[in-house]
Amino acid sequence: MSSNRYFLLGMEEIGEVIDIILPRPLPVDLFRNLIQGINTGKIPKNKVLEMISNILNNSIIKPLIEDDKVGEHIKNQFLNKKGQKFIIDMGQSGKILVKIIANSEYIKFSEATGNESLPVLPFKQEIILDALEKGDFRLLKYFTLPPDDPKYIEVQPEKVADVADIIVRIILSTCTAIITMENLKEKIKKNVAEALKSISNLFS
């Protein structure tokens, strides 16, 4: 299977997991306020990225790692990619550096500065709000929009090859566990809801 196919498959599963773990009603206003705050400079970008890292590590990855059935396998996927970095290009919201750490925390998001040589995962802030407002997290549709659509994501296979390898080892294994294991699914849904409520209270 090509790296481009791995990348698209990963995006498909990420969308399915987002749909599963986000609380209802969907936190549209929270994400809109965070994005606007970052774009206007009213909310420190690194503060938001730190909170995202904490949610991923403590609310999602930690329960998976601690699980008797899948924990060791998922932990090994992170260890295999320890030290790997890539960039998520969010367009107007800037670039985000993602690093696989695999010690006390497993993944870290921070503001990217001068890392143009790293693999780049294209994304757009418009997609976040569009998906939340419509309640439709089928991310693959954004890759097939007309190129002049502001939500269109262009994927260049040679640029996503390294990201695709990380996706197939880490994202697919974690997403599959959340989708297929009911006990983990409910625990993670509860964790994410509580974390988002805390963030909402902080910025309300």
Q: What is the pLDDT of residue 117?
A: 81
Above 70 in pLDDT, residue 1? no
- Answer for the pair 58, 50: CB distance below 8 angstroms, yes or no: no
- Give the rounded percent of residues in the chain with a pLDDT score beyond 90: 44
Q: What is the pLDDT of residue 16?
A: 92
Q: What is the pLDDT of residue 143?
A: 85
Per-residue pLDDT band at 12 (split at 50, 70, 90): confident
Per-residue pLDDT band at 159 (split at 50, 70, 90): low
Give the integer Cα–Cα distance in Å for 158 and 155: 9
Give the integer Cα–Cα distance in Å for 126 and 6: 24
CA distances from 66 to 59, 99, 135, 163, 176 (A): 12, 21, 30, 26, 16
Q: Rg for the chain (alpha carbons), in Å?
A: 16
- Give the rounded percent of residues in the chain with a pLDDT score beyond 70: 94
Q: What is the pLDDT of residue 113?
A: 82
* Mean pLDDT for all residues in the chain: 87
Domain regions of the chain by residue span: 3-203
Please confirm whether the linkage preceding 25 is cis (ω < 30° from 0): yes
Residue range 132-149, pLDDT digits in tens:
999 999 988 998 889 899
Q: How many CB atoms lie within 10 A of CB 120?
A: 19
Of 199, 175, 202, whose CA–CA distance to 55 is shortest? 199
Give the integer Cα–Cα distance in Å for 173 and 90: 25
Q: What is the pLDDT of residue 166?
A: 77
Q: How many CB atoms lie within 10 A of CB 1?
A: 8
Give the integer Cα–Cα distance in Å for 35 and 90: 11
Pairing of strands 120-122, 85-89: parallel
φ/ψ of residue 98, rounded to 5: -115, 125
Residue range 28-63, pLDDT digits in tens:
999 999 988 888 889 899 999 999 999 999 999 999
Which three-class secondary structure state does DSSP give residue 61? helix
Above 80 in pLDDT, residue 157? no
* Dihedral, 77, 16, 147, 88 alpha carbons, nearest 10: -40
Residue with structure tokens 């439709």? Answer: 136
Give the integer Cα–Cα distance in Å for 37 and 41: 6
